[in-house]
Amino acid sequence: MAFKKTAETLPKGAHTLGRDYYVNPEILQKEYENLFLNNWICAGRSLDLAENGQYKVINIDTESVIVIRDDNGNLKAHFNVCRHRGTRICKNETGQFSKSIQCGYHGWTYDLKGKLIGAPHMDAVDGFNKKDYPLHSIALAEWEGFIFINLSDEPKDFESVFAPLKDRFSPWNISDLIVMETKEYHVKGNWKLVIQNFCECYHCPILHPELAAIHNYMGGRNDLHEGPFLGGYMDFNDDKDSITTSGELCCPPLNGVKDENLNRVYYYAIAPNMLLSLHPEYVMYHTVWPDGVDKCKVTCSWLFAKDVIASGKYNTKDAVDFWDMTNKQDWYISELSQLGIQSKKYSPAPYSGQESLLAAFDQYYLDKINKK
Ligand code: FES
Ligand SMILES: [Fe+2]
């Protein structure tokens, strides 16, 4: 959504991606293999699964993952694949198991940690040992109250991948915040259009007059400009205090947010599927999920301090409504982009100086996609 970037830091000759990257199913396949199934991806908030046995299912390409809070209160992720004849076990998007997970075909049963604890009539099978058939597990990490999963067989260490973000967001204390509201959007555009659109505010004066009245599209700086994490901040105009319909704070600023952070919004893309926006009094995050080459699913959640939500006396809707409107403006233009890019007459064109984060995203993306 943001970011001034000075022209001199734009890589020489940086152009938009070619048409194929938005329309070719083979490239989408590469994206699944090299980005979504081989990286840490955001799978929501730890508190989405507050109680033992609560689960959510994440479907991505041909894979399906059960993310669950086990009976010790720890989050785990398992492939949603029965170890007997491979059947997908869990069909619901969310739910709660009491003590075990049972396959609906022949009743093989797993505990919440994924261990096989029941396999009818298999005792009679020579050499069969239940301990050899747990659900396949998936790497999971928690960061700032978010769940990340990595479906790779050899996942890179989460801590080292996320080292550039260490302590960067501590003033917002994000792990203590609670989701007030989540909206789901279905966008008829390639998933990268959503990320790229988020990474610039060149479009703000035309597409978002309301947002442009809150922060000037030239009034920011990037502080992360290469690799999987990209973003920076934008200062509010003098007569504005936050990004809300009224332009005022919709509740008191978060405890740790002080000084210049009271006058700014920070926007970060956390590749491949998360967008994080930090305001003085609330935090918003998006997740972006490809759904074919020309569609994607986007979720947007608004997080507030626990006492703000509990008191019920603040107009948090002021923030939700503003961004819901702005999101829809962004999806609308992303859908038009998809339609135009599909034309045989679309060809890459130079990025402006305000779009250097897109050039950086494309660079990161191409490096990943072109890896064998
Ligand atoms: S396939 Fe799951 S129990 Fe047979
Ligand atoms: Fe926008």
- Which of 161, 181, 210 finishes a domain? 161
What string of pLDDT tens digits covers the 372 residues of the chain? Answer: 544 444 447 888 899 999 999 999 999 999 999 999 999 999 999 999 999 999 999 999 999 999 999 999 999 999 999 999 999 999 999 999 999 999 999 999 999 999 999 999 999 999 999 999 999 999 999 999 999 999 999 999 999 999 999 999 999 999 999 999 999 999 999 999 999 999 999 999 999 999 999 998 888 899 999 999 999 999 999 999 999 999 999 999 999 999 999 999 999 999 999 999 999 999 999 999 999 999 999 999 999 999 999 999 999 999 999 999 999 999 999 999 999 999 999 999 999 999 999 999 999 999 999 986
Residue 112 belongs to a domain with what CATH number? 2.102.10.10
- Tell how many helices (H) and how many strands (E) occur in the chain: 9, 17
Residue 262 belongs to a domain with what CATH number? 3.90.380.10
* Ligand 1 atom showing the smallest separation from residue 87 Cα: 1
Total domains in the chain come to 2
Q: Residue 2: inside a domain, yes or no?
A: no
Q: Which of 64, 81, 87, 89 to mutate to test the pocket of ligand 1 (most atoms within 8 A of CB)?
A: 87
Alpha carbon distance 342, 19 (integer Å): 7
Q: Are residues 28 and 103 in the same domain?
A: no
Q: Are residues 338 and 194 in the same domain?
A: yes
Alpha carbon distance 74, 40 (integer Å): 18
How many Å lie between the centroid of ligand 1 and the Cα of residue 96?
A: 20
- The DSSP-derived string for 196-250 is HHHT--TTHHHH-HHHHTTEEEEEEEEEEEETTEEEEEEEEPTT--SSSSSSS-S
Q: Are residues 124 and 199 in the same domain?
A: no
Other CB atoms closer than 10 Å to residue 297's CB: what's the count? 15
Q: Are residues 198 and 112 in the same domain?
A: no
Residue 292 — left, alpha, or beta (φ > 0 → left; ψ -120 to 50 → alpha)?
A: left
So what's the pLDDT on residue 5? 44
Residues at CB less than 6 angstroms from ligand 1? 82, 84-85, 87, 103, 105-108
So what's the pLDDT on residue 6? 46
Taking CA 233 as the corner, what is the angle to CA 177 and CA 267, rounded to the nearest 5 degrees?
A: 50
Alpha carbon distance 37, 34 (integer Å): 6
Q: Write down the H helix ranges in 274-316.
A: 306-311
Tokens of 331: 């999806």
Residue 371 — left, alpha, or beta (φ > 0 → left; ψ -120 to 50 → alpha)?
A: beta
Overall residue count recorded for the chain in this entry: 372
- Residue 76, strand partner residues: 68
How many Å lie between the centroid of ligand 1 and the Cα of residue 241?
A: 57
So what's the pLDDT on residue 372? 66
Q: Domain residues for 181?
A: 7-37+167-369
Q: Residue 1: inside a domain, yes or no?
A: no
Alpha carbon distance 230, 47 (integer Å): 26
Q: Are residues 116 and 61 in the same domain?
A: yes
- Which of 161, 192, 209 finishes a domain? 161
Tokens of 327: 């999101």
* Ligand 1 atom showing the smallest separation from residue 89 Cα: 2
Angstrom CA distances, 368 to 4, 166, 200, 213, 296, stand at 26, 23, 22, 37, 20
Q: Are residues 357 and 284 in the same domain?
A: yes
Angstrom CA distances, 239 to 209, 247, 293, 325, 326, stand at 16, 8, 42, 21, 20
How many Å lie between the centroid of ligand 2 and the Cα of residue 51?
A: 36
Helix, strand, coil tally for the chain in percent (to 5) = 30, 30, 40
Q: Are residues 345 and 225 in the same domain?
A: yes
So what's the pLDDT on residue 9? 73
Q: Are residues 219 and 91 in the same domain?
A: no
* Ligand 1 atom showing the smallest separation from residue 86 Cα: 1
Q: Are residues 102 and 210 in the same domain?
A: no
So what's the pLDDT on residue 7? 45
How many Å lie between the centroid of ligand 2 and the Cα of residue 153?
A: 36
Q: What is the pTM of this model?
A: 0.96
How many Å lie between the centroid of ligand 1 and the Cα of residue 83?
A: 7
State yes or no: cis peptide before 164, omega within 30 of 0.
Answer: no
Q: Are residues 149 and 200 in the same domain?
A: no
So what's the pLDDT on residue 306? 97
How many Å lie between the centroid of ligand 1 and the Cα of residue 49?
A: 26
Name residue, tokens 């075909």.
105
CB 360 within 8 A of CB 366: no
Q: Whose CA is closest to atom 3 on ligand 1? A: 106
Please name which ligand lies nearest the alpha carbon of 215. 2
- Which of 127, 161, 195 finishes a domain? 161
So what's the pLDDT on residue 242? 98
So what's the pLDDT on residue 219? 80
Q: Are residues 228 and 215 in the same domain?
A: yes
Q: Residue 353: inside a domain, yes or no?
A: yes
Alpha carbon distance 132, 183 (integer Å): 41
Q: Are residues 26 and 47 in the same domain?
A: no
Q: Residue 139: inside a domain, yes or no?
A: yes
Other CB atoms closer than 10 Å to residue 105's CB: what's the count? 13
- Residue 283, strand partner residues: 278, 303
Q: E strand or H helix at 182, and its extent?
A: strand 178-187
* Ligand 1 atom showing the smallest separation from residue 83 Cα: 2
Question: What secondary structure letter does DSSP report for 328?
Answer: H
Tokens of 81: 């694949």
Provide the edge-to-edge strand list for the sheet that holds 100-102.
100-102, 109-111, 116-118
CB 225 within 8 A of CB 356: yes
